[in-house]
Amino acid sequence: MGSVTFFLLATALVVSALTVVVHPNPVKSAMALVATLFLLAVEFVFLGAHMIAALQVIVYAGAIMVLFLFVIMLLNLSDEEAEARRRGRALFRIGAWIGGGVLAAELAALFLRVPFPAPAAPPAGYGGAESVATALFVDYALPFELTSILLLIAVIGTVVLAQRRAS
């Protein structure tokens, strides 16, 4: 990827991420987050992580964002009152933006000073389904199994939390 492509992609990413944070309408925030996740999938493709890019689109932009939109529409939010209520916190918000800007600038300046050597050409099949699956099921077999327990706990917890108590 050339630097022009990178900067175009990075600009689009930052703009869509800022839209997630500043847009008063939660549905449009969610749409901007979908755009951010898709653009990150493009970055993953450029970084040679093809399998992860596919998972990003299917799991994140697909499943998780559908869950978010479903809850937003289930709760039927009108966001005007919430946005009106936060007006009294102008000083805090300005401080948060300044703090975030300082954090981003310091981290970026730190990273840009590190002289990383140019990465070697990846081996054939790097980032494809086979290489990721081999690492996942051989080297990371135990964490993978623990992940299934985590998901089971999440499923049970979600059902217990969201069910209507018979009272």
Partner 1 sequence: MVPTSWYLALSAVLFAIGAVGVLVRRNIIVVFMAIELMLNAVNLTFVAFARQLGTIDGQVIVFFVMTVAAAEAAVGLAIIIAAFRNRPTVNADELAVLRW
Which two tokens mark 43? Answer: 């970055």
* Distance of closest approach, residue 124 Cβ to partner 1, in angstroms: 13
Q: What number of other Cβ atoms are within 10 A of residue 31's Cβ?
A: 17
**Interactions with partner 1, residue window 26-45 (CB under 8 A):** 26, 29-30, 33, 36-37, 40, 43-44
**Interactions with partner 1, residue window 133-152 (CB under 8 A):** 134-136, 139-140, 143, 147, 150-151
How far apart CA 156 and CA 167 sit, in angstroms, is 21
48: left (phi over 0), alpha (psi -120 to 50) or beta: left
Q: Are 9 and 42 in contact (CB under 8 A)?
A: yes
**Interactions with partner 1, residue window 92-131 (CB under 8 A):** 92-93, 96-97, 99-101, 103-104, 107-108, 111-114, 116, 118-120, 122-123, 126-127, 131
The single residue among 12, 47, 54, 57 that binds partner 1, judged by CB under 8 A, is 47
DSSP 56: I
Q: Is residue 162 at the binding interface for partner 1, with CB under 8 A as the rule?
A: yes
